[in-house]
Each structure stands twice: as structure tokens, then as C-alpha cells.
């Protein structure tokens, strides 16, 4: 079942690239006590994700934070090494890159997609959500192939 506005995020272990290797991240702890703009992409370095989705959140980071967002995070079904490399290549420090290596988070929130036709296997759908103290306040799920409602600009309009 897909997560909805008003639901609490599930507790799942994901990871992020740290200075000395992968660092575990507990989603319950990560989202506790603050407002987080989370966006999910099907894959690091993929065309729309690299050309539009991530750059939009990097570009709008100051505006999002000025409207009360404490942290901006990107999550993808990739390993922490890939997410760390993507951050260095395209992301900047404004966005925390979360690696959902096994797709556990995507599955727990009910937002998976099958990318097998592209050799990608199970992935996350493209979406954004505003999470306040672990509760989903806004959820913006894209239709397959679209990029509009999950953008940083759209989220700014919701704040």
C-alpha cells in the first residue's frame, strides 16, 4: 500500500556515503524533529535525474530553507558509493544523498517501479515529499516519464 499524506514514514535502514565509507541511517531518526524536503529518483546519473531533478533542489536550496525546510535529501535505489560520487559530480553539499541500496525504503512506502526493461530492476518511482517530524505533509508522485510535481519549484509553491 502506498504511503499517504498524514502517514508516518516507516522505520527502514538506508545509508549514506561517509568520509570513511558507508554510514547507516535510520529513517525514523533521520526525519525526527525537523522538516525535510525528500525527493526520490529512479537512479543516480540518469538523464532527468541529473539534468533536472537534483540540480533543481540544489539551485533552490536556499529558498527552501528560507521557507522552513531544515534539510533536503535525495534518495535512490543505488549504493552509497554511487550516491556519494553523484553528489560530488552534480550535487553539492546542499543535498544529503541517501542510498536505498536494496530498495527497502521504496518498498516500505509503496513507491517502487519496475525498470527491468532498461536493465535497472526494481527502483523507486520519481516523487517528492515534505516530511515534518517523520510525518508526510505533502506527497507528489510523478506519472511514468513525467517530471513536474516532484520538482523543487513545485515544492516551493506548497510551502
Instruction: Write out pLDDT tens, residues 67-96.
Output: 999 999 999 999 999 999 988 887 778 899
For residue 49, pLDDT over 80 is answered with no
What domains can be seen in the chain, in order of their start residue?
13-158 (3.40.30.10)
55 pLDDT exceeds 90?
A: no
Task: Please give the torsion angle defined by the CA atoms of residues 61, 64, 65 and 70, in that order, rounded to the nearest 10 degrees.
Answer: -100
Model confidence, pTM? 0.93
Report d(CA 26, CA 24) in Å as an integer: 7
74 is catalytic: no
Selected catalytic residue, list 49, 139, 149, 155? 49
**Partner residues linked to 127 by β-bridges:** 40, 141
Amino acid at each position: 500500500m502506498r504511503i499517504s499524506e498524514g502517514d508516518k514514514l516507516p522505520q527502514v535502514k538506508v545509508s549514506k556515503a561517509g568520509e570513511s565509507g558507508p554510514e547507516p541511517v535510520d529513517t525514523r531518526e533521520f526525519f525526527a524533529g525537523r522538516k525535510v524536503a525528500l525527493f526520490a529518483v529512479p537512479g543516480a546519473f540518469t538523464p532527468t535525474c541529473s539534468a533536472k531533478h537534483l540540480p533543481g533542489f540544489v539551485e533552490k536550496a536556499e529558498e527552501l530553507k528560507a521557507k522552513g525546510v531544515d534539510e533536503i535529501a535525495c534518495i535512490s535505489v543505488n549504493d552509497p558509493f554511487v550516491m556519494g560520487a553523484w553528489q560530488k559530480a552534480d550535487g553539492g553539499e546542499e543535498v544529503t544523498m541517501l542510498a536505498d541500496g536494496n530498495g527497502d525504503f521504496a518498498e516500505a512506502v509503496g513507491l517502487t517501479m519496475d525498470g527491468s526493461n532498461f536493465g535497472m530492476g526494481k527502483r523507486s518511482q520519481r516523487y517528492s515529499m515534505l516530511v515534518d517530524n517523520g510525518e508526510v505533509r505533502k506527497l507528489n508522485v510523478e506519472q511514468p516519464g513525467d517530471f513536474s510535481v516532484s520538482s523543487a519549484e513545485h515544492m516551493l509553491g506548497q510551502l
